Chains A and B, each alone.
Chain A
């Protein structure tokens, strides 16, 4: 059958037949790089347009509708504008760090792509501690933000970076604990094994209330971790002009902007993989006919459908809730979410030991 995993295994065979193993691996790495960069560019274009259309829908207006049919090429035009803009470096800035920071933000977002399964058997690197890798690498984006904020030599940038650091370091805890609840249930840290364990039903349906609770906590925590409203303290345009990227312009600003949207995609992909079964189709108990029909939908469609639904939910948050104050934000994490997720993980462990899940 024609599928993504079939294509990749055929390319793999062909490369190993025509080249030595060294060159085959090198060419495969280059191919993966090209594919990931293309995915980044396409995701940036689609997600920015989606954000504008969703915000327009929430606010009962039309949104971009001039460039192309229904404003489809608006983001392409914006990208061209950002490309030809001048990239300024402030006089008092630390030049090397200022210019390096946007690339570090991009690289840390790119590294997160590795263990995500986009379709059946379509994964860059299935390492045996995939979930741990995801939570480790997603915490590195804070380094880029701190670098950008400090090197700009601007008080607003520094304040934005500091807020962002406090926020990411604290919300990482409850995001990690809620991922851990599924690790306890499956007994494995590997992403492919977690997906495989959801063949007879997604964890959000199988794991009773505690898993639903940890799913909700995970969504709240990653909204904070990606610095999006209502937790966009790092930018907070009414207080800090533009937060950590106040001094950035042109393509360097665009890289930060792109990294934010790609991070949103990745955290939604993680949530879809861990809680909603990744590329696994929706199966209900012993409804044979229904399950057969669901199997005909391609696995990549399932993955992207779930991911884009979660992205829509996160955009929905942004245009519905007002921004929190920094002390409310830290109170929410340390006084509510963290104790709840700690008790929750005890409940999940109890369920896993007593085999109460389906």
Chain B
């Protein structure tokens, strides 16, 4: 077992454990903090695949910006596990069934795919580097890229309109 494998298994275990803790912790603030840990573990995986740009963008966008906003909102709402009304038993069971079926479908879809026979190119692929990614985004996928930026702009305008007092 070399150092790459040790790191891989460590990061994988960390990601799965913290993802489970996101669901199981009773305090919503703890859930958000576990979610930040999940993003860190995933960024570690990106770095091991030699996709440093994706790793850092994952950190900036999710751990740095979105999660901080989540923390903001949840901390201000002051939700306590004791005072929150609990969902009833049937709703919980329905949620479990729905989540379980999604897992089943994902497993069934990926079971016979080609992905599982391909070996990961650890630390040698170059598609995650900023140079290649930028070229792809601005040549092959330039139209979807521009359309998504218009989408962001409209979301921002919408937020300003909602936020205006009068």
- A residues at B contact (CB < 8 Å): 22, 25, 94, 97, 127-129, 132-133, 135-137, 139-140, 142-143, 146-147, 149-150, 158, 161-162, 165, 169, 172, 189
Chain B residue with Cβ nearest A133: B56
For B56, list chain A residues within 8 Å (CB).
Answer: 129, 132-133, 136
Pair A22/B76 contact, Cβ less than 8 Å: no
Pair B76/A162 contact, Cβ less than 8 Å: yes
Report which residue of A135, A150, A162 has the largest number of chain B beta carbons within 10 angstroms of its beta carbon: A150
Q: Chain A's nearest CB lies how many Å from the CB of B87?
A: 24
Main secondary structure of the interface of B (DSSP, over half): helix
| Set A128, A135, A150, A158: member contacting B130, Cβ < 8 A | A128
For A129, list chain B residues within 8 Å (CB).
Answer: 52-53, 56, 130
With contact pairs A129-B53, A136-B60 given, residues A143 and B71 touching in the complex (Cβ less than 8 Å): yes
Q: Chain A's nearest CB lies how many Å from the CB of B62?
A: 10
For B68, list chain A residues within 8 Å (CB).
Answer: 139, 142-143, 146, 165, 169
A102 to B76, CA, bound (A): 21
| Set B53, B57, B60: member contacting A139, Cβ < 8 A | B60
| Set A25, A137, A140: member contacting B3, Cβ < 8 A | A25
With contact pairs A128-B52, A150-B75 given, residues A140 and B129 touching in the complex (Cβ less than 8 Å): no
For A169, list chain B residues within 8 Å (CB).
Answer: 65, 68-69
For B53, list chain A residues within 8 Å (CB).
Answer: 129, 132
| Set A133, A137, A150: member contacting B29, Cβ < 8 A | A150
Q: Mark B41-76, 1 if CB is under 8 A from A, else 0.
A: 000000000001100110110011101110110011
Which of chain B's residues 2-60 have a Cβ closer than 8 Å to chain A?
A: 2-3, 27, 29-30, 33, 36, 52-53, 56-57, 59-60
Q: State how many residues of chain B have any CB contact under 8 Å with chain A.
A: 25
Pair A132/B60 contact, Cβ less than 8 Å: yes
For A172, list chain B residues within 8 Å (CB).
Answer: 64
Q: Chain A's nearest CB lies how many Å from the CB of B155?
A: 17
| Set A128, A133, A143: member contacting B129, Cβ < 8 A | A128
Q: Chain A's nearest CB lies how many Å from the CB of B156?
A: 13
For the complex of A and B, the 9 pairs showing the least CB-CB separation, nearest first, are A139-B64, A136-B60, A136-B59, A150-B75, A136-B56, A132-B56, A146-B71, A129-B52, A133-B56
Q: Chain A's nearest CB lies how many Å from the CB of B130?
A: 6
| Set B36, B52, B60, B64: member contacting A127, Cβ < 8 A | B52
Pair B3/A22 contact, Cβ less than 8 Å: yes
For B36, list chain A residues within 8 Å (CB).
Answer: 143
Pair B59/A165 contact, Cβ less than 8 Å: no
For B64, list chain A residues within 8 Å (CB).
Answer: 136, 139-140, 142, 172
With contact pairs A128-B52, A150-B75 given, residues A137 and B65 touching in the complex (Cβ less than 8 Å): no
Q: Chain A's nearest CB lies how many Å from the CB of B160?
A: 12
A143 to B71, CA, bound (A): 8
Chain A residue with Cβ nearest B76: A162
Chain A residue with Cβ nearest B69: A169
For B27, list chain A residues within 8 Å (CB).
Answer: 94
A149 to B76, CA, bound (A): 11
| Set B2, B60, B129: member contacting A135, Cβ < 8 A | B60
Chain A residue with Cβ nearest B75: A150
For A143, list chain B residues within 8 Å (CB).
Answer: 33, 36, 63, 67-68, 71
Q: Mark B120-142, 1 if CB is under 8 A from A, else 0.
A: 00000000011000000000000
A189 to B72, CA, bound (A): 31
With contact pairs A132-B53, A132-B56 given, residues A146 and B75 touching in the complex (Cβ less than 8 Å): yes
Pair A162/B60 contact, Cβ less than 8 Å: no
Pair A165/B60 contact, Cβ less than 8 Å: no
A189 to B59, CA, bound (A): 17
Q: Chain A's nearest CB lies how many Å from the CB of B142?
A: 18
Chain A residue with Cβ nearest B129: A128
